[in-house]
Amino acid sequence: MMQLITITASLILFCGLFSTITATTDTNDDHAMTENNDVSVNESDWSTSCILGVKNVSIALYTSDIPNGQFVQVNESCNFLNSSTSIFFTTHGFVANNSNYNLSAVIFQLLKKQYAVFSLDWSDAACYNDPNVINLLEYPFAVHNTREVGNYLASYIKSICDTCSVPFKNIALIGHSLGAHISSFAAKNLQTSGYGKVPLLIGSDPARPLFMLNGPEDRFSDTDAERVIALHTSALGLQKSLGHLDLWFNNGVSQPACGDQIMGSLKVNCSHNICIMYLASMWSDDCVFTGVPIHDIPNGKFVQVNESCNFLNSSTSIFFTTHGFVANNSNYNLSAVIFQLLKKQYAVFSLDWSDAACYNDPAVLNLLEYPFAVRNTRKVGNYLASYIKSICDTCSVPFKNIALIGHSLGAHISSFAAKNLQTSGYGKVPLLIGSDPARPLFMLNGPEDRFSDTDAERVIALHTSALGLQKSLGHLDLWFNNGVNQPACGGQIIGTLKVNCSHHICIMYLASMWSDDCAFIGVPIPIIPGCSDSTNCIIVDNKIFYNTTIVGDYCVSVASKYPFCIKEDEFECQKQVTDIFDTLISL
């Protein structure tokens, strides 16, 4: 059975000094609902900053009679409701209000079905009205506000049911991003208040940051309603199964419409918000998607060593993946690599060292903190080695089944884990893959203090940017597009953004290599950037990882569009390719 198992390092390190603010319970419903059941809770107008908590929340009602919406009081809304039809409550996400990010498209489709729709506006508490330059810094405060806003929504629903004699079985909730968690908190409140489980709860890419480690009681969960459906479209959403039905559009990562002209954080944000348009299309009678079952992909689970034994097969490979700086275990498309490994029935442990990698710290401090993240890599690597030892000893996993993959700083962490395993008497790990191993503060290090070909039986390094070490590091070094600027990070991206894009796209190349439908062409090179020798070629695909006869440095051609590889009918190598391809097929 395919399994993805997530492990987290409990390390008290410098980059973990900034505390995580999670949603807290506020059971004082009177703060959310005024005595005369007014829709909004108004404080003085001198400040609406989300930092100061929930100051103003309002709800607009949409029906076939009021298609443009109208802010109403509970008593007033009774005149527009039909007790025989479904009533939906929609909730927007971070830095938004009740009409942007195309949430209105969902409302439009619901109105076509003659449903009534209440649209919650918590824009002040979601930091929508604050200066853009401080939005990212304010996100923890918006997260903190979600529980209170959820309790307000629950109070409003109770009033609608009681005052307007609306059957509770008619209630349904839809939320996007943070709004999915707000809808979840409302549903939990309704349960504990004795109203029962809401019949339907839909989450549009439920927000991941500051919710990743939360249990079901503190996030969107399948225990919240009779029918819980989660749509997944980006790394900003929780990369785990959350509902009775989980729909992973385009594998739940980068979306096709957020294509080649959008890179980095903009692309992730586009993929996150496009989820609402998918949901609107699902409600349309003129539109349909096709889905196929994917078992446990990518159903990550934080486990103790003893527990993990139940999920492991001693006859298959077990991969340990490690992310890089200012990241966690599912962003920067590392999940795309995991997806391909799971398709091959491998088990995957994904190390999350995000606190020590400065992921949860204010963005303005990140560059200053990089040296501390570098300092943390050795300790995290030793932790990973200890975990691998426990897996081998406790679960009777053969050491020959172990393989390590790391991106950027994660490549060095994987290296340090491999070194530790050697000095501990476990021997050399069979396979170590580094995705553009980080260069800053490692450039002058010797093999003992960085990613190196002495760390494993088979060491492969992928090079894609100036942020990665510009030297041969493994038994096989693959220099994609000469190891510098990548074609997909093209003319629309300049400076540091282009370098950063080229650095992180390396993971997507690695994911494409693991796919059975994808391959690249490599030509041998004596030095960089002399990628002109085409007298010999190799096929760069998943068979190359364990083919120890292919060593040295190769320049690899890439396409500018996902999946970046070259289709088999487009191969233009010399006659040596046929021989190599036949050799690889027979392996």
Strand-strand pairing, 198-204 and 225-232 = parallel
Please say whether the beta carbons of 486 and 501 come within 8 A: yes
For 194-234, give the DSSP string.
TS--EEEEEEES-B-TTTTT--GGGS--TTSEEEEEEEE-S
- 502 by Cβ neighbours in 10 Å (0-12 / 13-18 / 19+) ranks as buried
Q: How far apart are CA 389 and CA 424, in angstroms?
A: 9
Strands 171-176 and 87-91: parallel
Nearest CA to 234 out of 220, 247, 251, 252 is that of 252
Please give the structure tokens belonging to residue 255: 């979306």
Do 174 and 183 meet the contact criterion of CB atoms below 8 Å apart? yes
User: In 3D, which of 226, 228, 207 has the Cα closest to residue 218?
Assistant: 207
Catalytic residue list:
177, 205, 272
What is the DSSP secondary-structure string of 308-331?
HGGG--TTS-EEEEE--TT--SST
Rounded CA separation 97/105 (Å): 14
> If you count them, how many residues does the chain have?
587
Pairing of strands 552-557, 520-524: antiparallel
| C-beta separation of 338 from 350 below 8 A | yes
